[in-house]
Amino acid sequence: MRHLLETLHIVFAIFAIGPLVHAATTAARGIKAADANAVASSARTVKIYGYLSVVVAILGVGLVQPRYDHSFGDTWVWTALVLWFVASGLVFSLILPNLQGAATALRNGSSAANLAGRVAAGGGIVALLYVAIVVLMVYKPGS
């Protein structure tokens, strides 16, 4: 069962977190280009893959069991979970609303250039948070 959970966790991480980070980090280009369709597409991508990141976290939590030599007492486990919550919070409270607002503004013929910086910064921070999570999972400090 462990190998199945690990495999699913890694596969979902690659195919859910990868597109999420890509969309979040490149969406500002659509805003700068004033392309409402590209921005709306980025918003949908961020939303869908943001929700799929929950599956990655659930599968990861399923691996935190004493029989698999991991527990919530391991520093790297709870640190990774905290970082995931912060990343998800940024996705759903900063990046997604700004992308949706930019798409609406662009469709109405208004400028949304002021939102590009927020989206770019949020996407960059989310990317760094996910890199930190991977580093924690690979090196498992404190265990």
**Residue whose entry in the numeric block shows the structure tokens 């979902």:** 12
Per-residue confidence of the chain (143 residues) as pLDDT tens digits?
899 999 999 999 999 999 999 999 999 999 999 999 999 999 999 999 999 999 999 999 999 999 988 999 999 999 999 999 999 999 999 999 999 999 999 999 999 999 999 999 999 999 999 999 999 999 998 76
List all residues 6 or more positions away from 65 whose beta carbon is below 8 Å from its beta carbon: 71
Which residue range forms the structural domain that includes residue 83? 2-139
Q: Where are the alpha helices (DSSP H) in the chain?
A: 2-12, 18-32, 36-62, 75-90, 96-107, 113-139
Tally of domains within the chain: 1
